[in-house]
Structure 1
Amino acid sequence: MYLETLDRSSDLGNEPLNATRSLTTDFVFLTQAVSSSFVTENCIDVLRTANQLIGKDKYSWSNHVGVPSKETNSLCGPHQTFILVGGTHEPWLMTPDQLSRIKPAIRSAARVGIIGAGVFVLLSAGVLKTQRAAIHPQFKFSARESGYLADFHSGTTCHHKTLSSAISSVAAINMLVELIGAHEGGYTENALREHLGLTAPAEKTQSKQHWRYKRLAEGNRAVCEALDIMLDHLEDTLTVGQVSHIMGVSARRLERSFGDKLGRSPLYVYRDLRLERAHALLEQTALPISEISLACGFSTTALLAKWYRQKFGALPADTRKAAFIGKYEA
């Protein structure tokens, strides 16, 4: 048991390395039945959104519906999180033979998560007695009769030692967000909640690229303020001198701050934000490419195409065509 608690009052980032060993980036989902697959897909969507925010495929996953037909030691390894995805309508009951097939995964996983009826799998396997867990009200009496000895956690999610639990499909989303937040920090967790619609979005709408740069800035006032100004002026592109003038700092100081925190020049970052906006407009609207160029601060379509191809490896027209073909096929 490597992790004692995921209580947000404790700063996991400052704990010794061995205190966070159970926080993994690779998840294995075992789903009770096809009817519960939507719960798993919701959890996977959290991981997928986290990858998009971070800007790389950091989190990975696999999914299995039903117990494997034969015992396997490769279902879940010591560097993976094993999530038992159950429903909330009936207990998840397994035969002794089925239990024997998944016990190796439960034993070897860095962390085990249970959702809804998944609690009964651990109870049947004899590995959940005194650890605190969040259990659906409908299952509390049955869980107690099945040998659960600890006090029931009062919340909808719980993280105790190397066990994470959620009472339902909705709570499961929060459980995944909390795990990612413990791994990535509160700034990422809050942004993830906004993107998933779990909390009201901030007054200023942030693009993913804008958020990534702010995360790298680590609260640096000059960089964060400049990023906000750039986001507000994607159409009427400002010079570095104009941005620094609005801020009341020198252009040299701004260049130095961006280099120290982001490893990029202000012009590079500004163009990156404009290209991201262009990409979104190409995929999500029917605006002519010429209008998109102007709306994103590029004086000509040729200039947009030059920088767009360098960033995305394709021309704006290719992105537009793929977006519309996808719509027609759907």
Structure 2
Amino acid sequence: MPAKDTVHVGFLIFPGFPMACLTSAIEPLRAANEIAEKTSFSWTVLSESGAPVTASANVVFQPDQALGSAESLDYLFLLSSPQGTFKNPQAGNGRLRHLVRHGTEIGAASGGIFPLAASGLLLDRTCSVHWCYKSAFQTKYPDITSNDDVIVIDRGRLTASGSSAMFDMMLRLIENTLDGTIMTEVACWFQHPLVRSEGVSQSVPAFKTDGLAKDMPEPVARAIDVFSQNLEDPLAISDVAEQVNTSPRQLERFFKQSLDQSPLQYYRTLRMNAARQMVVYSGVSLTEIAQSVGYSGTATLAKHYRTEFGLTPSEERKRVNRFRVEQTVPCRRPDCLSDGPCRCDKRVMQRASR
């Protein structure tokens, strides 16, 4: 990360982006400027066309400028939902590559990893992917290396798993640009007690409980890790028990005590959650999804999926696609510049929902 008088950071927002990622990045930079009593950081919010963009919380943001006119950015972060794409991929991806060739370090937070991967700028790099998108991302981009760390920085590519991780990324930038004292004061301003850096793993829920997987008893936590690494070719519970140095009966007892379900039930839950990521966030076929979570066909997948979520994968995909269409019908008023839904004409949304 460069040391200079003013570091200029760009944020490229796509429709449906999580606005928490944007505020978690800008607010610590603003605070650092105040504490340092100088403009150490400046920032620009961009969209593909310069038109307003609606965040996932249905809040409309007016960017400062279009991506095509952005110059002299030290950093550029893509903020998006997993479905984020350029309307004109050739021009958009070309502009990203142009900026990188001219010295911009590029990154992404949360679902922004998807359009960044689509640009080709993550090839031969390792990146951070939020756990809830991991299976979908690995299926869509099998040639890109990802891991479970909250932050990954690899040769000019800076990726953060979510909004809190984005805050940590900015703290690192503040420390490198100014110093550790100011970074610590910024963290304390926002009551951000634990400053995480590279090598720190994401917190993942122990599904159907109120705890985290890492906080489970050691044999359970280790078994969950083994399960997570073996979704495509499921292991026998006896083999997992052997890997965590316990007996199948003991492992069963540990899971019942900690999670109120058997290891086999938990393993199936992990596989169904991975399948759901791909159903919701990818366009791969249901046959491919079934195979990626250890089923030879879609019938058994559909049965277990319905048990877990109350509907089949095909029903879920239809529901999600219908919702996306209804939520992204553009306004038809000629004076509206929004790329997506707006508040100009509620009748447009009413027509879409019929």
Q: TM-score, normalised by structure 2?
A: 0.45
Q: TM-score, normalised by structure 1?
A: 0.48
More helix by share: 1
Structure number, greater radius of gyration: 1
